[in-house]
Amino acid sequence: MPDEIKKILIVEDDDTMRKSLVDGLSKFNCKILEVGDGEKAVEVVMDNSPDLILLDIMLPKLDGFKVLERIRYYPDARIAQTKVIILSNLWSDKDILRAKALKIDDYLVKANTTLEEVFAKVKQLLQ
């Protein structure tokens, strides 16, 4: 039986950044879901149970921390334990510690991370 195709959810409100992520991740054998706001992200997570989420923090409607809280406190363990990479331009210790307290898998600062580094981290976490 072949491996199940992995699902990656990209939660990014910047259209250019989201398109770059989608384009780069399209080389992976995976299904890519994409949304531009936090409320829609929660809906897509509940409906699709992705294997990995690339999550921005500064989002319209519901910020990334609130999205992460709703995922982590969800009663279904498959959703609550979803792998999450924060990809944000917020880099204060307070923000990073808050995200780590919500059991993220990694925290990448956009300004200090290349797309290739993001894709390498995604590949590592999906294996």
Q: What is the pLDDT of residues 72-82, one digit of tens each?
A: 999 999 999 99
Report residue 30's pLDDT band, with 50, 70 and 90 as the boundaries: very high
DSSP state of 10: E
User: What does the angle CA 67 – CA 60 – CA 53 come to, to the nearest 5 degrees?
Assistant: 40
**Alpha helices, H only, the chain:** 15-25, 38-48, 64-72, 77-80, 93-101, 115-126
Q: Which two tokens stand for residue 45?
A: 């997570």
Q: Which residues of 110-120 are buried (b: 16+ CB within 10 A; e: fewer)?
A: beeeeeeebee
Find out whether 84 and 45 touch, Cβ atoms under 8 Å: no
Query: Is pLDDT above 90 for 4?
Result: no
Place of tokens 């706001």: 37
Domain 6-121: what homologous superfamily?
Response regulator (3.40.50.2300)
Residue 1's pLDDT is: 41
Per domain, the residue ranges of the chain are 6-121
Query: Is pLDDT above 80 for 45?
Result: yes
Q: Which two tokens stand for residue 43?
A: 């809906």
Query: Is pLDDT above 70 for 3?
Result: no
